[in-house]
Amino acid sequence: MKIELRHENGIQIIALQGEIDMHSAAGLRERLLGALRHNQSVIIDMSAVKFVDSSGIAILVEGYKVAKNNAQGFALAGINPAPMQVMQLTRLDKVFPIFPDIASAIKAGESE
């Protein structure tokens, strides 16, 4: 899985590409928790992610909880149908702030 980090308007955007499973989850965890150490909001761009399993879900939950504790913004954007199905089955679609794309996630963050 490819992980790219960029900054846009003071927000950290983590763009993921590939599949988040038990193998790739460890790398994602490191990058995500690393990014959350900076006192900035984080948006995860999921538009190039085709598969997420419970290992991936666990990392997102962990990241979300860290962000919430630190009062940092945390959002997921551009989730594809298969990963979205996993979010729904685990009811996390009601927990995570989810946006159709990065632009709408940034806009929602600015208006807060």
Partner 1 sequence: MSDIQPLYFTLLYGVLNTFDGLFRYVSAGQPGPILIRHHQAVDLTSPGMPIGLFEDAQFEEQQLRLEPGDKLLVFSDGLSEMRNHEGDVLGTTRLAEVAAEAADLSISQTLDRLLDSLEAWRAGNPHHDDMALLAVARRAQDGSGKRLMSIQFPSHSEQLAGLREQIRSALADQSIGDEDLELLILAVDEACGNIIQHGYGDQPGSILVTLDRYSDELRIGIRDWAPTIAEPNRMCGRSLDDLRPGGLGLHLINCGVDRMRYLTPPPEGGNHLEMTKQIGPKA
Pick the closest to residue 76 from 100, 110, 55 (CA basis). 100
Q: Which is nearer to partner 1, 39 or 81 (CB)?
A: 81
Q: Supply the minimum distance, in Å, between the C-beta of residue 86 and partner 1.
A: 7
Binding residues (CB under 8 A) for partner 1: these are: 19, 21-23, 51, 53-55, 57-59, 61-62, 65, 81-82, 85-86, 89-91, 95
Q: Which is nearer to partner 1, 82 or 103 (CB)?
A: 82
Q: Which is nearer to partner 1, 6 or 50 (CB)?
A: 50
**Cα 87 to Cα 102: distance, rounded to the nearest angstrom:** 18
Q: Give the C-alpha distances (Å, rounded to integers) separating 31 from 14, 34, 47, 93.
A: 9, 5, 18, 23
